[in-house]
Amino acid sequence: MKDRTLLIQKVINQLKADYYLEIGINYGINILNVICPRKLGVDPRVRITPRKKIFSYFKNPSNLFNRLYPCTSDKFFENNENFLKKIGLDVVFIDGLHTYDQSLRDVLNTLKFLNDNGIIIMHDVNPISKRSAQFGRLGDTWKTIIHLRSKHNDLKIFVLECETGIGIITKGKPKNTLKLDPSEIKKLTYEDLRRNRKEYLNLRDSDYFFKFLKSLRSNTQITLFSKILYDFILKTLFRFKPLLYLYKTIP
């Protein structure tokens, strides 16, 4: 599994997810392409042009129901607490500010509203070089994986060796954990990661994803609206194929 958008879609399909949240939507590469009845997108600098947004409705009708929040993820969670408690989150993709502190806050805030069978997907948690682990690139988001594996024995966590590392977080008792204090984690360097990569990140090859996918429980509480929307999209999506080429050429 090498394509994060396809990975997200497979998780959504398996769970029959109702609500999808994406932190760090940027140009909308993921949120505009995945199909889910209700999609929430957060980014202080949303770079989806009005023209591209309109064409996305034809390519993927579920985009008609998108809610985009042009703010930081901290403000999003602070301002929408009651709403998030009411709806619950099924699938969350975190690709926001690439720092240990912020990515950790994003996960911890998400966990407050994540449904019991929900999934958090983190991007860029396995930098392959010291240069790629610098601030402004992948940063030190990999420390969040180590932190969660050290301090949360109620979460199952692993990282897929694909793209730049895709972290998978679900609720449940893990088979193995780490024992590092936050003060120790903060002092870790890229060289520490390089020497202990497999242990720290609980690395899995990309094919493991399909085994994991089969273990997921679907959402039995999916609303009638969502079921109707799913059926509508699946039946109508490919009628707009002539527009796909135009959509891909739009900046």
Tens of pLDDT along 27-79? 999 999 999 999 999 999 999 999 999 999 999 999 999 999 999 999 999 99
Residue 224 pLDDT more than 60?
no
Question: Which residue segment(s) compose the domain that 123 sits in?
Answer: 14-248
Q: Is residue 242 part of a domain?
A: yes
The mean pLDDT value for 229-245 works out to 50
Q: Is residue 3 part of a domain?
A: no
Of the pLDDT bands very low, low, confident and very high (cuts 50, 70, 90), residue 222 is low
Q: Are 200 and 165 in contact (CB under 8 A)?
A: no
Distance (Å, whole) CA 217 – CA 230:
18
CATH of the domain at 188: 3.40.50.150
Total domain count for the chain? 1
Question: Residue 107 CA to chain centroid, in angstroms?
Answer: 10
Of the pLDDT bands very low, low, confident and very high (cuts 50, 70, 90), residue 227 is low
Place of tokens 């180590």: 146
Partners of 92 in the β-ladder: 21, 120
Q: Is residue 4 part of a domain?
A: no
Interacting residues of 249 by C-beta distance below 8 A, sequence separation 6+:
none
pLDDT at residue 195, rounded to an integer: 97
Of the pLDDT bands very low, low, confident and very high (cuts 50, 70, 90), residue 245 is very low
Residue 226 pLDDT more than 70?
no
- Per residue, the 3-state secondary structure of 137-151, as one string, reads CCCCCHHHHHHHHHH
